[in-house]
């Protein structure tokens, strides 16, 4: 039995409490919980502005629609509540994970035996002369809507990319010609000591699908982006993505990073793996670097398919593909 199931094997019975600090979902007396000072930990979370739930299905919070349940799921309403939530977890030694829009993530079928901190409520955009300040939970499409209404087209290279700002910065998402790291002025993060610090772009260590923020697991609070640079046609980029990627299917996005100078999708295609399936998980026939959930796929099926693809590509090209998505074990 996996760790999450060992920790949370009993059935949950719910009762709701109305609170001016948010809707709080509590398990009834007798429910098994991890061995920490549970009452104190829960009390501190409940004192923060946000929504607290237990045994939350992660399938509802990821773009691929896969995953078990999170022991705790908290959605802070303010950046300060996010900071205090993380500090609380660190004080109690309780495992936690930040979750934005749920792209580029694959959760175990066992779920997550800690606290998932959702940034879904941490939204806000402030336009200024030549820049825009954005909170970590702001979805990229909403950001593009705002700047496009102001006549600004320089961020349109992000069109069609799912996810929120925080995750996009950590992964340095973008296109071959430009990434979000190229637009960053500064990023506010929480350092390992629980202190808020503001990083300049040069301190973020941006590279291909990588950053210091991702490497050091620094939670993003907000960022300021420059609005200079060449304009991009949003409609043109969206049309290209829709024609070449399975945007309407359940997926986590590109599964593998492109090896230097090569295309992971083309390599997978040349290895004859388009359309290959394991259970309800399938290598997309539209773009081979996507694995799609046909409905009810399990993490175990997707991981098996990933292993097969890596082995076949290595056998054909002697190149071991590196994962771009993050696999979270339960």
149 shares a domain with 111: no
End-to-end CA distance of the chain: 11
Res 117 pLDDT > 70: yes
252 shares a domain with 212: no
Nearest-5° Cα angle at 36, 31 to 41: 85
Res 269 pLDDT > 70: yes
Q: What is the mean pLDDT of residues 229-240?
A: 96
Could you give the residue ranges of the DSSP H alpha helices within the chain?
3-7, 38-46, 79-92, 140-149, 165-171, 212-215, 234-244, 264-270, 299-317
Contact 222, 79 (CB under 8 A): yes
Which domain range does residue 103 map to?
3-118
pTM of the model: 0.86
Give catalytic status of residue 204 as yes or no.
Answer: no
Res 37 pLDDT > 90: no
Res 309 pLDDT > 70: yes
131 shares a domain with 51: no
Contact 223, 180 (CB under 8 A): no
Q: Using the 3D structure, point to which of 118, 147, 166 is the last residue of a domain.
A: 118
In a domain, 239, yes or no: no
In a domain, 192, yes or no: yes
220 shares a domain with 132: yes
Q: Place 23 in a pLDDT band, splitting at 50, 70 and 90.
A: very low
Give catalytic status of residue 209 as yes or no.
Answer: yes
Q: How far apart are CA 59 and CA 313, in angstroms?
A: 29
Tell me the C-alpha to C-alpha distance, in Å, between residue 101 and each of 73, 304, 317.
Answer: 14, 25, 34
**Nearest Cα to 182, choosing from 156, 212, 202?**
202
Q: Place 198 in a pLDDT band, splitting at 50, 70 and 90.
A: very high
Domain CATH for 312: 3.90.78.10
In a domain, 41, yes or no: yes
Q: Using the 3D structure, point to which of 88, 118, 148 is the last residue of a domain.
A: 118
114 shares a domain with 19: yes
Rg, C-alpha atoms of the chain = 20
Q: Is 322 helix (H, G, I), strand (E, B) or coil?
A: coil
Condensed to tens digits (0 to 9), the pLDDT of residues 168-186 reads 999 999 999 999 999 999 9
In a domain, 231, yes or no: no
pLDDT value of residue 35:
52
pLDDT value of residue 42:
86
Across the chain, mean pLDDT equals: 90
**Nearest Cα to 66, choosing from 97, 98, 112?**
112
In a domain, 146, yes or no: yes
Condensed to tens digits (0 to 9), the pLDDT of residues 151-166 reads 999 999 999 998 999 9
87 shares a domain with 154: no
In this structure, how many other beta carbons lie within 10 angstroms of the beta carbon of residue 249?
A: 17
Q: How far apart are CA 67 and CA 58, in angstroms?
A: 5
In a domain, 317, yes or no: yes
Domain CATH for 58: 3.30.43.10
96 shares a domain with 141: no
189 shares a domain with 103: no
Catalytic residue among 209, 298, 303, 310: 209
Contact 183, 166 (CB under 8 A): no
Dihedral angle, C-alpha 143, 146, 152, 158, nearest 10 °: 20
Number of folded domains that form the chain: 3
140 shares a domain with 104: no
In a domain, 240, yes or no: no
Length in residues, the chain? 330
In a domain, 262, yes or no: yes
Q: Using the 3D structure, point to which of 80, 102, 118 is the last residue of a domain.
A: 118
Catalytic residue among 254, 298, 301, 303: 254
Contact 81, 227 (CB under 8 A): no
pLDDT value of residue 20:
36
Q: What is the mean pLDDT of residues 177-205?
A: 96
Bridge partners, 241 (sequence order):
none
Bridge partners, 250 (sequence order):
293
**Nearest Cα to 262, choosing from 318, 178, 182?**
318
Res 286 pLDDT > 50: yes
Give catalytic status of residue 324 as yes or no.
Answer: yes
91 shares a domain with 16: yes
Task: Report residue 90 as tokens.
Answer: 């660190």
Higher pLDDT, 229 or 34: 229
Domain CATH for 201: 3.30.465.10
In this structure, how many other beta carbons lie within 10 angstroms of the beta carbon of residue 130?
A: 10
184 shares a domain with 164: yes
Q: How far apart are CA 281 and CA 290, in angstroms?
A: 10
- CA atoms 193, 194, 197, 202: torsion sign: positive
């Amino acid at each position: 039995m996996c760790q999450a199931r060992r920790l949370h094997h009993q059935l949950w019975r719910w009762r709701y409490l109305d609170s001016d600090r948010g809707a709080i979902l509590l398990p009834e007396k007798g429910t098994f919980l991890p061995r920490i000072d549970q009452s104190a930990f829960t009390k501190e979370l409940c004192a923060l502005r946000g929504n607290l739930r237990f045994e939350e299905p992660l399938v509802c919070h990821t773009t691929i629609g896969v995953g078990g349940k999170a022991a705790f799921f908290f959605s802070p309403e303010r950046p300060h509540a996010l900071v205090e939530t993380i500090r609380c977890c660190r004080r109690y030694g309780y495992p936690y994970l930040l979750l934005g829009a749920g792209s580029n993530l694959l959760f175990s079928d066992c779920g997550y035996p800690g606290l998932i901190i959702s940034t879904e409520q941490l939204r806000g955009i402030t336009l200024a002369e030549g820049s825009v300040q954005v909170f970590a939970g702001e979805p990229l499409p909403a950001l593009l809507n705002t700047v496009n209404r102001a006549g600004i087209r320089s961020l349109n290279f992000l069109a069609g990319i799912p996810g929120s700002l925080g995750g996009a910065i950590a992964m340095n998402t973008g296109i071959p010609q430009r990434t979000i790291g190229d637009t960053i002025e500064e990023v506010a993060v929480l350092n390992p000591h629980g202190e808020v610090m503001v990083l300049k772009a040069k301190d973020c260590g941006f590279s291909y699908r990588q950053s210091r923020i991702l490497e050091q697991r620094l939670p993003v609070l907000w960022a300021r982006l420059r609005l200079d640079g060449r304009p991009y046609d949003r409609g043109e980029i969206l049309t290209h993505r829709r024609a070449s990627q399975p945007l309407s299917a359940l997926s986590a996005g590109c599964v593998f990073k492109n090896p230097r100078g090569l295309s992971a999708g083309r390599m997978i295609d040349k290895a004859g793996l388009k359309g290959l399936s394991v259970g309800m998980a399938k290598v997309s026939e539209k773009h081979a670097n996507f694995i799609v959930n046909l409905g009810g796929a399990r993490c175990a099926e997707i991981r098996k398919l990933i292993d097969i693809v890596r082995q076949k590509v290595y056998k054909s090209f002697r190149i071991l593909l590196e994962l771009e998505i993050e696999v979270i074990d339960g």
